[in-house]
Amino acid sequence: MKVLISDKMDEAGIDIFRNQAGIDVDVNIGLSPEELREIIGQYDALAIRSSTRVTQELLSAADNLKVIARAGIGLDNVDIEEATKKGVAVMNTPGGNTVTTAEHAIAMMMALTRNIPRGTASMKAGNWDKKLLQGREIFNKTIGVIGFGNIGSIVAGLAKGLKMKVIVYDPNISSDHIEKAGFEYVSLDDLYARSDYVTIHVPKMDSTIDLLDAQAFEKMKKGVMIINCARGGIVNESALYEAIQSGQVAGAALDVFSTEPPGNHPLLELEQVIATPHLGASTKEAQTNVSVAAANQIIAYLLHDTVINAVNVPSVTGEVLRQLKPFLYLAEKMGKMQSQITRGGVKQVDIEYIGKFPDLDLKPITIEGIKGILNQFVRYEVNSVNAISLANEMGIKISESTAREAGNFLNLIRMTVVTDTQTNIVEGTIFGKDDARIVRINKFRLEVIPEGHLGLIHNVDKPGSIGSIGITLGKHKINIARMMVGREEDGDRNIIFLQTDTPVPPDVVEEIANLDLVVSMTTFEL
């Protein structure tokens, strides 16, 4: 089996490959996309960090590729969907650098507060700017932590140890869990209004891009300091520049930028900004950990058909995977659907297996369902290995049960999600050998193929309602690929599921929601 290492990795991981019988490893760093595409076809595995971009074009030439392992957490440089279509397992190494990144955030906060970079530069220039570089204490100051995942929770603990007042915002984790951990749960606006420091620890997703924009800075306490060691793009850099210039923001410590390297960036011209070149995970210990983990993952997969820390396939042996595959697919899609129709912090997930299932451990199916739910919240960290532990850390109670009779179906998976504000039930089944279907959403019975651009519409069960929806979509040249209608049990409402060839834009969603016989419309992707 041939392995290509295309990014710089710690020698400890490379040595594992070199000492493993049955593995031939090539280290070829700094290849252009064209050069990498030319040679990728001869390799069974690819080990990367953040420099190599695994695109659709690269994967189209990867005829023998079986696994990609990222020595680190973030996978925004990998086209995971395309890799999945090609049957390539994609793995990362969560946990190897969480402490390192959390420590860097605290170090950046301290350096910014006490003007350490400016003081160093001043001294080296032969100056003694003691009065000019006066700082402030962090003791008893309030730090607002946005995101209470692996890294954010460590940052909160370190800040508490420094005798700071810690407040936390995370819409995807129950307030009970955060408060049991010893921290105050607040709304985002409350966090903005009270924080002397705001530190960001969320993944970069559609919902978090430009999370800190001009409006957010206006809501903050005057003189706030911003720390971003998460991902570039979560902070709107132009808005941050203006907020610093106006004095609303006293300073910023940035380890990440929207474009890396940032080049001659206006923020880097400001004395109130300190920056590092994406060093959050750059310690000797962390790089050794993730390099060794990536090497072991690849070897286990290539030589033993065993999956470890994969983000697109469950961590089971190959034979079990083949038998459970349709149920794994269904459970993940059900979880993704639940995450997009459910509001509030998830407190409990109940999964029931009803009817006939393979005579195997059903735990991998549960894991895929939980992964589907959490993927919308912690996209770059959750995988088949850590889904359950992440759910436990978030205070989510998980239960499984089985029953023999599935009514009209040979088998049925029922997933119930309970949040602070509501309870939602989704049921799914497998038709034939591997045709996944969603057959119930709360009180509505229907039959949905769980894929593509979907729209969920609640409407009044009267003539003309469906027609008005179709006319509105047609006016905007949005083609309906499939339409499924279900009726509320003992009620006067329908639920309509639309699959469209293209996504329905927000303004069209609003227009449909305002139609006379439409109650609401929600769109999501599966």
Catalytic residues: 231, 260, 278
User: Which one-letter DSSP state was computed for residue 406?
Assistant: -
The CA distance from 346 to 418, in Å, is 6
Closest CA to 53 of 71, 76, 35, 73: 76
Q: Is 504 helix (H, G, I), strand (E, B) or coil?
A: coil
CB neighbours of residue 131 within 10 Å: 6
The CA distance from 231 to 205, in Å, is 10
| Residues 96/289, Cβ–Cβ less than 8 Å | yes
If phi over 0 gives left and psi between -120 and 50 gives alpha, with beta otherwise, what is residue 431?
Answer: beta
E-only strand ranges, 61-171: 67-70, 89-91, 142-146, 165-169
Q: In Å, how far are 169, 301, 366 from 395, measured between CA atoms?
A: 15, 32, 17
Q: How many residues does the chain have?
A: 526
333: tokens are 């899609």
433: tokens are 């050998």
The CA distance from 312 to 97, in Å, is 21
Angle at 336 between CA 334 and CA 339, to 5 degrees: 110
- Neighbouring C-alpha atoms within 13 Å toward the C-beta of 275: 19
| Residues 13/34, Cβ–Cβ less than 8 Å | no
